[in-house]
Chain A
Amino acid sequence: SQQGEEDPQALSIQEGENATMNCSYKTSINNLQWYRQNSGRGLVHLILIRSNEREKHSGRLRVTLDTSKKSSSLLITASRAADTASYFCATRNNYGQNFVFGPGTRLSVLP
């Protein structure tokens, strides 16, 4: 089954450092998205990358997509304490409208 899997499961860094999270999936996709979730809250859409794109930027976020390896990475540069949250990747295939989420990476940015 198509499934996003993030690694690492948890990441702890100092403020100002960069954070890199990875996501792998199993089947062909239409697009891959990254979401942030603060504890006990809803998910917030961060960035979407389509299967024909290799890299996208949005502010301090950089997302790459390697469809040959079925993987994506999310880089947060110059991290801040406010970036502390769980980050999820979600994929949508070409055949349906449902999204499959990975288990998430819990990021802690220490001041």
Chain B
Amino acid sequence: EPEVTQTPSHQVTQMGQEVILRCVPISNHLYFYWYRQILGQKVEFLVSFYNNEISEKSEIFDDQFSVERPDGSNFTLKIRSTKLEDSAMYFCAAVAGADEQYFGPGTRLTVT
């Protein structure tokens, strides 16, 4: 089965610091997504990325967030100035043509 990988598995950062979460999606997939899941809550859509640009983004994805695919393989989510409420699991997902999403294992972000 195709595999999406994410690093790091756990990141602890202080409020106000910048974090970069990395994802290596499946190379022949077309759409890439970032989701957030606050502990015990639902999975929330952040942003979708297609053809090296943002396709859609949610209200959560404000100016503090950005995404990049700097080298054609890695797909990054940057949070410029973290807040306590950014503490969550962040999942990357990749989609081919059939709409099935392949999720990475997630990065647990803890903001202290």
- State the A residues within 8 Å of B (CB): 30-31, 33, 35, 40-45, 48, 88, 90, 92, 96-104
Residues of B within 8 A of A (CB): 4, 31, 33, 35, 41-45, 48, 50, 55-56, 58, 89, 91, 93, 95, 98-106, 108
The 10 closest A-B pairs by CB, nearest first: A42-B103, A101-B43, A103-B42, A43-B103, A42-B105, A98-B45, A45-B100, A98-B56, A97-B48, A42-B106
Asked whether B104 lies within 8 Å of A42 as measured between CB atoms, the reply is yes
Knowing A33-B99, A99-B101, the reply to whether A88 touches B42 (Cβ < 8 A) is yes
A40 to B31, CA, bound (A): 24
Partner of B98, one of A48, A88, A97, A99: A48
Which applies to chain A's interface (DSSP): helix, strand, loop or mixed?
Answer: strand
Verify B106–A97 contact, CB threshold 8 A: no
Given contacts A42-B106, A102-B42, contact A97 B50 (CB under 8 A): yes
Taken together as a complex, chains A and B put the C-alpha atoms of A71 and B55 apart, in Å, by 27
A99 to B35, CA, bound (A): 10
- Can you offer 11 A-B residue contacts whose CB atoms are under 8 A? A35-B103, A40-B89, A42-B104, A45-B100, A45-B102, A48-B99, A90-B101, A96-B55, A97-B56, A98-B45, A102-B42
Task: Determine if A41 and B56 form an interchain contact, defined as CB atoms under 8 angstroms apart.
Answer: no
Q: Is the CB of A33 within 8 A of B42?
A: no
CA distance A103 to B93 in the complex (A): 18
In the complex, chain B residues whose CB is within 8 Å of the CB of A99: 33, 45, 101
